[in-house]
């Protein structure tokens, strides 16, 4: 056979080997692409399940254990749950105390300083403006220092809301009726024992870690040393509570601050009797009558059986 000459069979063998090599390369490329896609999917899933924050919190249905160090101004130690959210502006919590809220208690919404009920914003940026008001100690006990912060865009004036909360905490039917308790509203930049945040329903759900379907967008909570007040409840009250919106605001404050001072849930003591302030009245009254205050006008504690 002449040199360099190949038979048809030899050419077919080489073409077969080349085809086999191309097939192997395609298989390796396919496996590489599948592996890369799997890695990307796992990474995306891991990102999706990372929580926005790790704050100890609970909705109105559960009393949260105290967490964080009292006596610190917001933004001075630790990270506030709102600041931990990607939607919060950098440094917003730390600088909120220097903001000067505008408006006064005469704006729509009464002394609570909010817009007309029924026009409640459902979500906001997760950043807050602090009240600058300061007050005198209330009650005979050691004064727990506190301040109000309202979510930007909520329409609520922080100073007007602080005035409203201060009036509730200083009422003789409130917790100061017990000589063990005392409160004091402090100005911007001062250390506090707890903060009252008024937040839109969506932000409230995040701060309170609400997962119960019927409570989503509806409830309030205490998260660590933060009393989280749902803007919807602050402006519109609750269908389960027969009374003025201002009275329901008193129930929110008395119930959640009650958790802050160590009180647990109670339930209805009997048909026709006043519901305890520590009862979860948003879930129904169980035959009791709506009531916002821990004590009656005579100084009697309006108690109920403890909730296991």
Is 14 contained in some domain? no
The backbone torsions φ and ψ at residue 246, rounded to the nearest 5 degrees and listed phi first, read -60, -35
Q: Terminus-to-terminus CA distance in the chain, angstroms?
A: 100
Say how many domains are in the chain.
1
- pTM > 0.85: no
State the average pLDDT over residues 275-290: 94
- pLDDT for 177 equals 98
Q: Which residue has the higher pLDDT, 46 or 278?
A: 278
Residue-wise over 146-171: b if at least 16 C-beta within 10 A, else e?
bbbbbbbebbbbbbbbbbbbbbbbbb
Is 109 contained in some domain? yes
Is 203 contained in some domain? yes
- pLDDT for 282 equals 85
Residue range 40-61, pLDDT digits in tens: 443 333 333 223 333 334 445 3
- 273 pLDDT higher than 60: yes
Give, in degrees to the nearest 5, the angle at Cα 251 between 134 and 210. Answer: 100
State the average pLDDT over residues 36-41: 43
Is 287 contained in some domain? no
Range ranked top by mean pLDDT from 9-18, 87-96, 270-279: 270-279
Is 39 contained in some domain? no
- 138 pLDDT higher than 70: yes
Domain that holds residue 160: 68-239+250-263
Give, in degrees to the nearest 5, the angle at Cα 167 between 287 and 282. Answer: 25
Is 35 contained in some domain? no
Is 33 contained in some domain? no
């Amino acid at each position: 056979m002449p040199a360099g000459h190949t038979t048809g069979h030899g050419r077919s063998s080489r073409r077969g080997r080349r085809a086999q090599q191309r097939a192997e390369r395609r298989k390796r490329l396919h496996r590489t692409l599948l592996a890369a896609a799997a890695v990307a999917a796992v990474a995306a899933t891991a990102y999706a399940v990372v929580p926005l924050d790790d704050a100890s919190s609970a909705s109105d249905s559960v009393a949260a254990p105290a967490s964080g160090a009292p006596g610190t101004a917001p933004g001075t130690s630790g990270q506030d749950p709102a600041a931990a959210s990607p939607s919060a502006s950098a440094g917003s919590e730390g600088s909120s105390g220097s903001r000067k809220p505008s408006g006064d208690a005469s704006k729509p919404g009464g002394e609570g300083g909010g817009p007309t009920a029924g026009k409640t914003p459902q979500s906001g940026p997760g950043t807050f403006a602090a009240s600058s008001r300061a007050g005198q100690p209330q009650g005979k006990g050691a004064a727990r220092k506190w301040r109000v912060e309202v979510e930007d865009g909520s329409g609520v004036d922080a100073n007007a809301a602080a005035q409203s909360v201060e009036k509730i905490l200083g009422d003789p039917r409130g917790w100061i009726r017990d000589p063990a308790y005392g409160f004091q509203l402090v100005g911007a930049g001062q250390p506090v024992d707890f903060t009252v945040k008024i937040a839109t329903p969506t932000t409230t759900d995040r701060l309170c870690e609400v997962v119960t379907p019927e409570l989503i967008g509806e409830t309030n909570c205490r998260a660590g040393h933060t009393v989280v007040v749902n803007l919807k409840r602050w402006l519109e009250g609750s269908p389960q509570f027969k009374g003025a919106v201002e009275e329901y605001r008193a129930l929110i404050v008395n119930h959640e601050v009650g958790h802050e001072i160590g009180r647990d849930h109670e339930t209805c003591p009997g048909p026709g009797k006043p519901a305890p302030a520590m009862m979860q009245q948003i879930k129904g009254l169980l035959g009791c009558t709506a009531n916002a205050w821990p004590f009656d006008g005579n100084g009697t504690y309006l108690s109920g059986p403890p909730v296991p």
